C-alpha cells in the first residue's frame, strides 16, 4: 500500500531503525526492490531522481510504482529524490503520484533555502505529501582538508533547529561526510558521528543519510571480473551504516549499489551466455542481484519485519 514518508519514518524513529530509499529507473528495478520488500516484510521507499524522470518519464514510473504498491501489503513510499528544480518539485506534488518529495535547496543561501522549502512544505502538506529538505553540502570527508572547511559545509546543528522550526519539513538530509557516487573514500570509510549525535540531540524529526552505498565487495568483484573498470570504487562500511542507524538515522539512500548489482548481473550473464539475445533472460540475473543487495540492506538497516 502507498503511504507517506512521514508515517514510515516516524515509526522507524520510534523503533530505532532506518528504512532504505532505493533509486529506480525502470520496471526491472521496481520489481527487484518490491521482491526484496516482500521477502523481508519490510517497508520501502522507492525514489526517482530528476535523471530517472528524464529517462523513463514521471507518469510511466508513477504508474509502475502505484501498481506495485497497490498489489503489496508492505508500506511503500513513492519519493522524488533531490528536487533541485522548484518547478519539478511542484510538478511532482501536482502529479498525484508522489507521497513524498525532496526539495534540495542546500546550494541556496540559508534564508533562501528556508523560504523556498517552507513554501513547498505548505503546498505538499495540503495534499498529504511529506517533504524532505536538505541542509549542508553532501560531500565526502576528503573533500574538505580542514576541520574549519567541514564546519562550513557539513550540517550545523543549531542551524538545523532553526531550519526545521521555520520550514515545517518532515525529514532532514544532513551532511556528515557521505557523498554521492561509487567513489566515496580514498582510504577507510569515515563519518562525522559527533556531528550526527549533536544534531540528533537537538532535533526531533527523522534524519536522512544520502550517498550511503557500501559498494559490496562480492558484487564489485563480479563487475570487475567481467570487464567493468571500478577498481577504486569505495563506499560506506557496513559498520558505519549500523552506527549511523544506532545514532538516529531513519532513512538511508541507496543508488550506486543497485547500479553495480545491475551491471554485475548483465555483464556476467552476457559473458557466460554469448548466444542469448532475449532481453528477459539478460535482465533476469540483474534483477536477482538487486533483490539480494536490497534484502541485505533491509537487514542491516533493521527494517526487516517492520512492514
Q: Just list the catalytic residues.
A: 81
CB 26 within 8 A of CB 100: no
CB of 76 to Zn ion, least distance (A): 20
Q: Which of residues 195-214 bind Zn ion (CB under 5 A)?
A: 210
* Cα(70)–Cα(30) distance, integer angstroms: 13
- The residue number whose beta carbon is nearest to Zn ion equals 210
Q: Among residues 210 and 259, whose Cβ is nearest to Zn ion?
A: 210
Burial of 270 (0-12, 13-18, 19+ CB in 10 A): middle
Output the smallest distance, CB 304 to Zn ion, in A. 24
Nearer to Zn ion (CB atom), residue 35 or residue 46: 46
Say how far apart CA 48 and CA 61 lie, in whole Å: 8
Residue whose grid cell is 507517506? 4
Strands 171-174 and 207-209: parallel
Q: Length of the chain in residues, anyone?
A: 307
Shortest Cβ distance from residue 279 to Zn ion (Å)?
Answer: 30
Measured from the CB atom, the residue of 210 and 295 that comes closer to Zn ion is 210
Cβ closer to Zn ion: 195 or 210? 210
Instruction: For residue 251, state whether it binds Zn ion (rule: CB under 5 A).
Output: no
For the CB of residue 227, give the shortest distance to Zn ion in the complex, in Å: 28
Radius of gyration of the chain (CA): 19
On whether the CB atoms of residues 103 and 168 are closer than 8 A, the answer is no
Assess contact for 254 and 204: CB atoms under 8 A. no
The three grid cell numbers given for residue 128, joined into one nine-digit string: 498529504
Tell me, what DSSP letter sits at residue 155? P
Site for Zn ion, residues 101 to 130, rule: CB under 5 A: none
Residues that bind Zn ion (CB under 5 A): 210
Amino acid at each position: 500500500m502507498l503511504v507517506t514518508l512521514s508515517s514510515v519514518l516516524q515509526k522507524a524513529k520510534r523503533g530505532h531503525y532506518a528504512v532504505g530509499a532505493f533509486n529506480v529507473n525502470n520496471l526491472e528495478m521496481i520489481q527487484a526492490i518490491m521482491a526484496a520488500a516482500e521477502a523481508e516484510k519490510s517497508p520501502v521507499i522507492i525514489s526517482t531522481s530528476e535523471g530517472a524522470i528524464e529517462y523513463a518519464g514521471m507518469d510511466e514510473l508513477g504508474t509502475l510504482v502505484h501498481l506495485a504498491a497497490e498489489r503489496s501489503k508492505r508500506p511503500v513510499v513513492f519519493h522524488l529524490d533531490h528536487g533541485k528544480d522548484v518547478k519539478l518539485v511542484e510538478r511532482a506534488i501536482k502529479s498525484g503520484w508522489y507521497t513524498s518529495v525532496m526539495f534540495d535547496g542546500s546550494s541556496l543561501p540559508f534564508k533562501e533555502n528556508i523560504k523556498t522549502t517552507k513554501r513547498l512544505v505548505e503546498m505538499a502538506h495540503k495534499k498529504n505529501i511529506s517533504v524532505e529538505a536538505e541542509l549542508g553540502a553532501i560531500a565526502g570527508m576528503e573533500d574538505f582538508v580542514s576541520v574549519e572547511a567541514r564546519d562550513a559545509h557539513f550540517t550545523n546543528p543549531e542551524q538545523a533547529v532553526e531550519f526545521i522550526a521555520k520550514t515545517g519539513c518532515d525529514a532532514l538530509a544532513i551532511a556528515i561526510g557521505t557523498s554521492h557516487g561509487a567513489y566515496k573514500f580514498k582510504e577507510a570509510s569515515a563519518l562525522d558521528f559527533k556531528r550526527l549525535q549533536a544534531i540528533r540531540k537537538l532535533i526531533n524529526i527523522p534524519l536522512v543519510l544520502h550517498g550511503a552505498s557500501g559498494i559490496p565487495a562480492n558484487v564489485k568483484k563480479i563487475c570487475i571480473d567481467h570487464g567493468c573498470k571500478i577498481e577504486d570504487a569505495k563506499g560506506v562500511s557496513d559498520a558505519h551504516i549500523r552506527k549511523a542507524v544506532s545514532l538516529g538515522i531513519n532513512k538511508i539512500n541507496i543508488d550506486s549499489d543497485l547500479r553495480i548489482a545491475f551491471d554485475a548481473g548483465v555483464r556476467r550473464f552476457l559473458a557466460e551466455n554469448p548466444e542469448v539475445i532475449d532481453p528477459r533472460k539478460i535482465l533476469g540475473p540483474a534483477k536477482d542481484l538487486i533483490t539480494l543487495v536490497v534484502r541485505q540492506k533491509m537487514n542491516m538497516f533493521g527494517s526487516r519485519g517492520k512492514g
